[in-house]
Chain A
Amino acid sequence: MSKQKKKITDIRSINLMALFAALTAIGAFIRIPLPYVPITLQTIFVLLAGVLLGKRRAALSQLIYLVIGLSGVPIFTEGGGPGYIFKPSFGYLLAFVVAAYFTGLLTENRPINYRNIFLASTTGVLITYIIGVPYLYLILTKVSGVELGFLDTLKAGMIPFLPGDLLKILIVTIITPRVYTPLKKYL
């Protein structure tokens, strides 16, 4: 297949994007117990979408995940529905779209090796915080009307997740080179 700007809605891409939307959805339900904050596999699938599908298809797949959840199918960690926009944690979900895009951007047309994957997934995870934490702050202060310092938000919305996210970055880094070769023919 040519690498130029091809249509992203050919049959194969449609199915791959649907697949990653579904994977992100089930990722919310596979929990790995970790001390204090159990982690879910969601971020792993978001990052892998970026690496495997490329920036545009990856972002679209996560967008589909969001739209399905917002239209009421309970595939977010705590349900679904348009009301979810006003949940403080929705920013992290919104960030999936952008994180997948940038992870894809940083790995497209580059060799698949530990270093590149590690850098791209770290960027992806950082983006979830860059969007997620201000959103958390915004909803808590503006919608719930709570008086809260930005530093406290950072303490609640970022620090507890760091070990888990480091683990996820490691998983993605270890796993991508292994799945890339057998899967290449499907991409």
Chain B
Amino acid sequence: MGLREFVIRRILLMIPTLIGVVLLIFAVTQLFTPGQRATLYITSEKQMSRIPDIIRQYHLNESVLLQFSDWFSQVLQGNLGYSRTGGGPVLQVMLRKLPATFELVIWSIPITILLGTYLGIQSAVHRDQLPDHVTRTVSIIGYSLPTFWLGIMLIAIFFSGLGWFPPERTGAQAFNYIYLSGHWRYYTGLLTIDGLLNGQPWISLDVLKHMVLPTATLVTIQIALIIRVMRSSMLEALGKGYVTAAKAKGLTNTQVINKHARRNALIPTMTVAGLLTAGVLTGVTITETVFNIDGLGRWAAVAAGGGGTVPDVPAVLGFALFAGIVYVITNLIVDVLYAYIDPRIRLG
């Protein structure tokens, strides 16, 4: 079929899913009262008092189709409503809080993948021996831990107990420098990189220290998935004919494992990368809450009910929409990568 046709076809397939995502979010909005739904259309605090007008303006008591066209056109213009807990229009709030979450994700996902594949391979190669049992036990424990509990325990042990790694995103000194001193320039929004670009490497180190625990939390929970899939696909690859054939060529065991089996085993593992994204998006919500990091996850958690009795509807829905779109696009990227790597698909 060729790579180009495959990519085009895959993108075309993505479109109905994206439409469906939008439709589903809209369906969820219909479960709310008209008053709550009105908050999806306002853009500032002041407009809160004009809610009855808004209800009339956007036909929030009338037909569903009208509501959908109104709502969708607003969404396309970037108006996802006003977030009370974020103190601004939803889209702006999301963009403001995105870097913190992104930084956490950028550190967690590669570590999870690299460490997970390595452990998975070791597990498969030493099947039913000590490394295998230890790895599987540890990964199953990681998978069974409630994310928030692990976070709290890590804080209690490594911060309160040992004083090594603090929670939150920065320490007090760095906080002052970044937010209050006026010297700071935002290059990427990622504090670890910006610290270097600003010529203040101590800030980067400080942020890294702060990120150890939340990253450890996310990695511990997610790594079990990668280990499991890598192990089983590796076991499958090791049982294949080309492994015996490779041995018959006189290759060392390491060569056979790394060169022949591993590349084949990585292919099915890639398909799980999508699930990994979902897990990370979920994990980020709780991890940011526990470690008090001001990112998208904590914002959505507070919006849902952490702040009080009235949920901040546009925030939660905005986050849900964001999560859905990110997930769909991640799956697209993974599928394309998968097609590229597996020559059976790439060349048809």
* B partners with A: no
